[in-house]
């Protein structure tokens, strides 16, 4: 951990800032910075999984369909497994996680405490799980830690089904809403997405982490602001593992982006391009490879593989 950066430099956005890159020119200091950023990322994932555990447990109390209740109970078991796995990983690498960011904490609390089922399913199964699938896919592809890559893949074998449950709910629910009901769901979805876009990576939420590495927090914030101003306003996110692109594709395929809210999401991605990509998500191939890996373990004694129950 002292000598090996867990992610390559080009996957750490702050290192694209000349001030940050020059200040962290010493390889050991840069490695420490990269690995601390990974601590923050894994801590956010752990807090998100804990929120998903609480949310899926609460779904057992509000869903009326018995099959849906059984699904929610099974997801609760799987989320508990994820919390255990990420907690063990963080403990082995850093000792303990950092606190949940204010923006993510506020969103998780809002989703879990909401009495409306649509807020729970859209908020967790689509918004938070959409972010998670993007983050896991990115980590699987770029992490230099083989343990982290395998952890991401195995968690994705569960998360891919959680993600699909939200899509199934949307397919069976959204078309039957009245125009007024649909507007409420769309507006709340856009509200949550906006909070994630603007607050999740806000530099003022990370100020306390800059000083230990010799970085002036104010200068970092100013450098980020300058970079954003210089960015081409017509530029769209094209990286398929970008967490926000994965999130927007999730909402688009679920029918939660219409002409009413299209302009907000179009600031970030080419919606027509996303629509043409089909229904497969960036993490599906990774999850399917993980399922084959698990089948090799579970049926190594010659037993015949059977269909996955969730399919």
Which residue has better confidence, 195 or 67?
67
Token pair listed for 8 = 């390559």
pLDDT of residue 22: 94
Residue 40 CA from chain centroid, whole number = 13
Identify the band that residue 235 occupies on the pLDDT scale cut at 50, 70 and 90.
low
Task: Tell me the longest C-alpha to C-alpha distance in the chain.
Answer: 61
Q: Which residue has the tokens 């927090």?
A: 217
- Determine phi and psi for 98, rounding to 5 degrees: -90, 165
Q: Tell me the torsion sign for CA atoms 83, 69, 117, 172.
A: positive
- 186 CB-side CA count, 13 A: 21
Q: What is the pLDDT of residues 116-149, one digit of tens each?
A: 888 888 888 788 877 788 888 889 999 999 999 9
Which residue has better confidence, 104 or 150?
150
The b/e string for 216-238 (b: 16+ C-beta within 10 A; e otherwise) is: eeeebbebbeeeeeeeeeeeeee
- Please count the other Cβ atoms lying within 10 Å of the Cβ belonging to residue 78: 19
Is residue 291 a contact partner of residue 308, using CB atoms and an 8 Å limit?
Answer: yes
Question: Which of the residue ranges 70-84, 143-157, 272-286 would you say has the lowest mean pLDDT?
Answer: 272-286
pTM of the entire predicted model = 0.84
pLDDT of residue 8: 95
How does DSSP classify residue 10?
G
Token pair listed for 72 = 């929610």
Q: What is the pLDDT of residues 15-56, one digit of tens each?
A: 999 999 999 999 999 999 999 999 999 999 999 899 889 988
Average per-residue pLDDT for the chain: 84
| Helices 146-173 + 129-142 axis angle, to 10 | 150
Cα 309 to Cα 289: distance, rounded to the nearest angstrom:
17
Question: Which of the residue ranges 5-9, 135-139, 163-167, 262-266 would you say has the lowest mean pLDDT?
Answer: 163-167
Identify the band that residue 206 occupies on the pLDDT scale cut at 50, 70 and 90.
low
Distance between start and end Cα atoms, the chain? 40
């Amino acid at each position: 951990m002292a000598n090996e950066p867990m992610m390559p430099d080009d996957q750490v956005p702050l290192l694209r800032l000349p001030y940050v890159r020059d200040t962290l020119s010493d390889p050991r200091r840069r490695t420490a910075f990269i690995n601390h950023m990974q601590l923050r990322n894994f801590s956010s994932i752990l807090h998100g999984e804990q929120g998903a555990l609480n949310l899926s447990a609460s779904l057992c109390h509000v869903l009326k369909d018995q099959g849906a209740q059984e699904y929610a109970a099974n997801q609760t078991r799987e989320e508990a497994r994820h919390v255990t796995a990420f907690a063990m990983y963080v403990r082995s690498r850093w000792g303990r996680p950092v606190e949940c960011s204010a923006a993510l904490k506020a969103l998780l609390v809002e989703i879990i405490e909401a009495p409306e089922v649509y807020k729970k399913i859209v908020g967790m199964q689509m918004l938070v799980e959409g972010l998670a699938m993007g983050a896991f896919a990115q980590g699987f592809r770029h992490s230099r830690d083989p343990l982290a890559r395998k952890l991401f893949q195995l968690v994705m074998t569960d998360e891919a089904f959680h993600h699909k449950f939200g899509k199934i709910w949307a397919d069976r629910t959204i078309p039957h809403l009245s125009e007024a009901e649909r507007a409420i769901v769309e507006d709340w979805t856009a509200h949550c997405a906006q909070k994630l876009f603007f607050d999740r990576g806000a530099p003022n939420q990370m100020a306390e982490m800059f000083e230990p590495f010799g970085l002036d927090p104010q200068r970092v914030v100013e450098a980020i602001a300058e970079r954003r101003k210089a960015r081409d306003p017509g530029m769209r996110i094209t990286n398929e593992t970008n967490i926000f692109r994965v999130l927007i594709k999730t909402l688009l395929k679920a029918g939660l982006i219409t002409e009413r809210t299209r302009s907000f999401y179009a600031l970030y991605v080419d919606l027509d391009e996303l629509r043409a990509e089909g229904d497969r998500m960036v993490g599906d191939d990774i999850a399917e490879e993980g399922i084959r890996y698990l089948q090799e373990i579970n049926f190594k004694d010659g037993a015949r593989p059977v269909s996955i129950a969730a399919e």
